[in-house]
A and B are shown apart, each in its own frame.
Chain A
Amino acid sequence: MQVFKKVIDFFTPGDAHPVNRLLTYYIMLTLIVWPLVYFFPVVDRALGGAVVDAPSAGSQMLVDALNGDTVRGFDSELSPRLELTLSTLIILIGVIALMLPVSWVYMATRYNKVHDQQVAQILIFLPLVVAGIIIVVQHSLALAFSLAGVVAAVRFRSTLKDVRDVVFIFLAIAVGFAAGVQALILAAIVSVLFNVVLMMTWRYDFGRGVLEPTNASRWSEPLRELAKKPGANNGAGVPDRDLVIALDQKQAEALAERFDRVHKLVGPVGKKARYNAVLVVITDNLQDAQIHVGQALDDVAKRWRLDEVRTVPGKPTELSYLVRVPKTVSRDDLLTAISTKAGEDIVSSDVQIAEEPKAKSEEAKA
């Protein structure tokens, strides 16, 4: 496996991009499997020949057992035992080859910081076991019923932390099933497509709410509420005591940093907030985007500052700006200005403009 990794590293030098590495892996796998399929019919059968039971279109040359003038193929006459051994080995190796990238994708495309190592390992083991079981019970209703009986006797309960883990487990079972019935080609298509779709949804944050584009904006709402509370901490409010106690040092520091940032955003209590909008810009070209977005903000915003630069390997950079937008400038105006100045440098942009809190006197009247 180390050799394989080195070869992939060679073809994708220094590329931390998981999509590129995945593509390289699949290309290499295709290059290895294709000649095997061509020259070894037993590999062809394990790949899908056994499932495709339909007759071939043309004529088929038989092997001459007396004179042995076989045209192509090195295993035209294998004993059933040898063929079973070989095909089982091919199936199981094929399962590992297909599930390795799935486990990589599982580990790479996490939305939280850590992945479940057990699940990552199960993604390799589970399809092996499933494929083995299917090979055993194949074509035998009696064995299938026996298996159901045995499985019913085993109590197995496990709770997965992430809903997405369940989908990975289902994929592992599907790959195991397909491989077990000698349809590795189906397993390959399912797993490759799964990986591609998953990478794309992760890459483009498919389904992400527009109203919560960044961590900063996620925090802004509850922290603003806290900040409104009069009292300690220069009127910025005090977070829940139990919440603070529950945090470790790192989390507490991060929270303090957030508070500080939000405090700067909203300004002192009773005064107008220094910033009233959060602008999120996604870019592949960080330097140019920063310059051009800055120019656009200079034109339309009263004041602004770059709040956060968020980078994730393999994904575009996310820039968060705190902006004071005048009343005369609408959300569309701001986005149009960004697009005009920095359209070529950015992938997308979005802005969240906060409603101005009503003045105390107005609230009293109401």
Chain B
Amino acid sequence: MRHALPMCLVLVLLTVFACERRSKADETTSKQDTSILETREARLEQSLASNDSTAKSNKPVARWLLPPELSEISGLALTGDDRLFAHNDESARISEIDYRRGTILKRFYAGEKSLRGDFESITFGDNRFFLLTSNGIIYQFPEGQQGERVDCTVFDTRLGNECEFEGMTYDPASKGLVLACKNVGKKKSDELVMYRYTPGDESGISEITVPQKDVIGKNPWKQVRPTDIALDPESGNFVLVAAQEKALIELTPTGGVVFARPLEGRHPQAEGVAITHDHILIISDESVAGAATLTLYRWPLH
């Protein structure tokens, strides 16, 4: 027992020493990190600017592996200044991702920390975020600081019985939201259905329908079930991805098909899409056999 006290002191000293070493190691890592991040950004800029053969082959310019907290990444949202936000399928935790450097910058919560649901898409417009659940409930909230919980305003589109929602984007032209249906009832099974909806104005809901055969075209798909929708800031067209069909589709605001093509490359389950002002197409994939990913392409595709 008389050795117990010195032994305890040794244990404490070892712990302190370990913590000290860890913090020093973290400092060193931080310097390395900065250098790596700068290299990454320079590499991306170079890839985007190059005009060689690889630029015309629609190969990704960057791909980031996402951490387990985003393994079920379901939607992407770009702010007016092209900052990217993402959320997980089951929690209202929003992560800001620096897609140029490959870092997660901050996380904040919509509503209470325990707020959970089947969240399918996120978008940003008019200085607010909108988070959509599969049954048509929309949570509206402002941007939060790191770790902050922000208050939500909840809207019910009352369209939950009409379709299963999977995608949403903000349309600045109509100052409203466009919601894309993944699955619709049998009556509309031969159409790709989207709704225009302005939060708080249930009477102003309108429908955009596109015949499935027009969307499918010559592609070997039986049906297209979009999993997310984004707005091309330059053309004002809608760009949709469909995970099951591995499809990328561009539609005009009135529903005209610009193109519908297979999504090339490794996209096991494309669940989110976004297009930046500087022509980068971002696609997020849920974790299937490995980590979830964020893949960047030049936009428009060749």
- A residues adjacent to B (C-beta < 8 A): 12, 15, 17, 19-20, 23-24, 26-27, 30-31, 34, 38, 45, 53-55, 57, 59-67, 69, 71-72, 76-77, 79-80, 203, 284, 314, 316
Contacts and interface: CB of A to CB of B under 8 A. Distances in A.
Nearest to A24: B7
B40 interface: yes
Given A53-B69, A61-B103, 14 more contacts: A17-B3, A17-B4, A27-B10, A30-B14, A38-B25, A55-B93, A55-B95, A62-B66, A62-B102, A64-B62, A65-B65, A80-B287, A80-B289, A80-B290
B1 A62 contact: no
A71 B147 contact: no
18 contacts: A17-B4, A23-B4, A30-B18, A55-B95, A55-B107, A55-B146, A55-B147, A59-B106, A60-B103, A62-B64, A62-B65, A62-B66, A62-B97, A63-B65, A64-B40, A64-B64, A64-B65, A77-B291
Contacts of B93: 55
A64 B295 CA distance: 10
Contacts, number: 104
A63 B291 CA distance: 10
A34 B65 contact: no
Nearest to B8: A23
A23 B103 contact: no
B55 to A, nearest CB: 15
Contacts of B39: 69
Given A38-B22, A55-B93, A65-B64, A19 B37 contact: no
B107 A65 contact: no
Nearest to B293: A65
B103 A59 contact: yes
B1 A203 contact: yes
Contacts of A284: 1-2
Contacts of B15: 30
Query: Which of B3, B14, B29, B39 is packed against the most chain A CB atoms within 10 Å?
Result: B3
A232 to B, nearest CB: 48
Interface in B249-302: 287, 289-291, 293-294
Nearest to B39: A69
B36 A59 contact: no
A19 B65 CA distance: 47
Interface in B80-137: 93, 95, 97-98, 102-107
Nearest to A38: B22
Query: Which of A15, A61, A71, A316 is packed against the most chain B CB atoms within 10 Å?
Result: A61
A284 to B, nearest CB: 7
Interface residues of B, number: 48
Nearest to B65: A63
Contacts of B43: 67
A38 B28 CA distance: 14
A59 B65 contact: no
A136 B69 CA distance: 20
A161 B29 CA distance: 56
Contacts of B3: 12, 15, 17, 20
B236 interface: no
Given A59-B103, A61-B37, A66 B60 contact: yes
B39 to A, nearest CB: 7
Interface string B1-33: 111100110110011001000100100010011
Contacts of A67: 40, 43
Contacts of A71: 29, 32-33, 36
A61 B104 CA distance: 6
B172 interface: no
B62 A19 contact: no
B67 interface: yes
Nearest to B40: A64
